[in-house]
Amino acid sequence: MLFFNLSAFYFFYFAATGIYVIFLPKVLNDIGYSYFDIGVVLAVAPLMRFLVPFLFLKHIKLDSSMFTKSLFIAILGATLFYLTINNFYLFLVNNAILAAALSLILPYLEITAISILGKEKYGKSRLFGSIGFMVIALVLAKLLTNSFVAIHFYLAVIILTVIFSLLLLKYDKKNDVINSSNESLNFFKYLPFWLALFFMQLSFGSFYNFFTIYETDNGISLEITSYLWSFGVVCEILMLYFQAPILKNNLLNIIKFCLAITSFRWFLLFLFPNSLEIAFLTQSIHAFSFGLFHSAVVIYLYSIYENKKLAQQFMYGVAYGLGGFLGALIAGKTYGESLFLYSAIFAFIAFLSLFFMKKKILN
């Protein structure tokens, strides 16, 4: 039952993410938001993911009570989309509240997944998140006739995410191994690693926030663009299913490879913006850019920090939070033909930073 509930949680959580990153930029563009406005709105969510973990260093405990409160705040935030989407400032505040709640949910349950399922089954459960992302991409591409269609779907999948999150709470209470310790996080010991996470997600700012607009501006239809998103997710799913033997190797070397091939991926998008074939090729690399990279990072952090929940929170905060925040702002400001050239440079910096890791911690 745990595997089913966890897989269902991943499915609906990342279906919500799919609506947010694939269709929300297009919806906002259609109702009159500028490219920079879109970048600012989408930057708020990762900014909150970065800021919220600092509250848990001393002031707040990430326990089942706090987790439950965040779930219901998420439903409230998604509901308020109906009232705020046509006002830039209200929508900005609404996104901040929603993002603060969502920033607690995934890190909390990732520890449940890893500690109970282990390396072998974690990927097979996590791949249902990729399926949810892909399904929503295919469905909404055909049904998105106005902004409220996307909002209807978003609220529905958030509610379903909350339902399965609540069902998973009992597993957290039964497993002492996933309870947070009082150990503080030493960032400086693994500073090159944290920098790599940051620059990797900085490079994804163009992709997560503007890939749909970039492709449609270069002559590819919205429906075909949704197929591109889905194809990338299929490749990711295959990697998540078969990655267990790969993850038995040196995790830092795996992460280095993922960073290098991601830089190549963005450079291809820069060189061939009008090529559908190249677009599909770059999407196939998502198996490494996200599928293998994310699993290797999550498991590596789990192995080096005693305070595992807080480590996962800061991973999402530093990488998807601060990196995503600045990535969205930079992408909104630099949108144009050189958009993915900047992404390629950022990913390459992430790759280079890992060469400064001390040999004694390259395990």
The domain total for the chain is 1
Of the candidates 23, 58, 63, the one whose C-alpha atom is nearest the C-alpha of residue 42 is 23
pLDDT computed for residue 360 by the predictor: 45
- CATH of residue 325: 1.20.1250.20
pLDDT < 70 stretches in the chain: 56-62, 119, 144-145, 147, 172-186, 358-363
pLDDT computed for residue 180 by the predictor: 46
Number of other residues whose CB lies within 10 A of the CB of residue 29: 17
pLDDT computed for residue 50 by the predictor: 82
pLDDT computed for residue 298 by the predictor: 87
Contacts of residue 219, Cβ cutoff 8 Å, sequence gap at least 6? 274
pLDDT computed for residue 353 by the predictor: 94
pLDDT digits (tens, 9 = 90+) for 281-338: 999 999 999 999 988 998 888 887 777 777 777 887 888 778 888 888 898 888 889 9
pLDDT computed for residue 22 by the predictor: 79
- Residue 246 DSSP code: G
DSSP calls for 181-233: -SPPP-TGGGHHHHHHHHHHHHHTHHHHHHHHHHHHHTT--HHHHHHHHHHHH
pLDDT computed for residue 57 by the predictor: 61
* Residue written as token pair 């009232």: 83
Q: How far apart are CA 217 and CA 197, in angstroms?
A: 30
pLDDT digits (tens, 9 = 90+) for 28-76: 888 888 888 887 888 788 788 888 877 766 666 667 788 889 999 999 9
pLDDT computed for residue 229 by the predictor: 85
pLDDT computed for residue 103 by the predictor: 83
Tell me the HSE value of 77 on the side-chain side, using a 13 A CA sphere: 24
User: Which residue segment(s) compose the domain that 175 sits in?
Assistant: 2-361
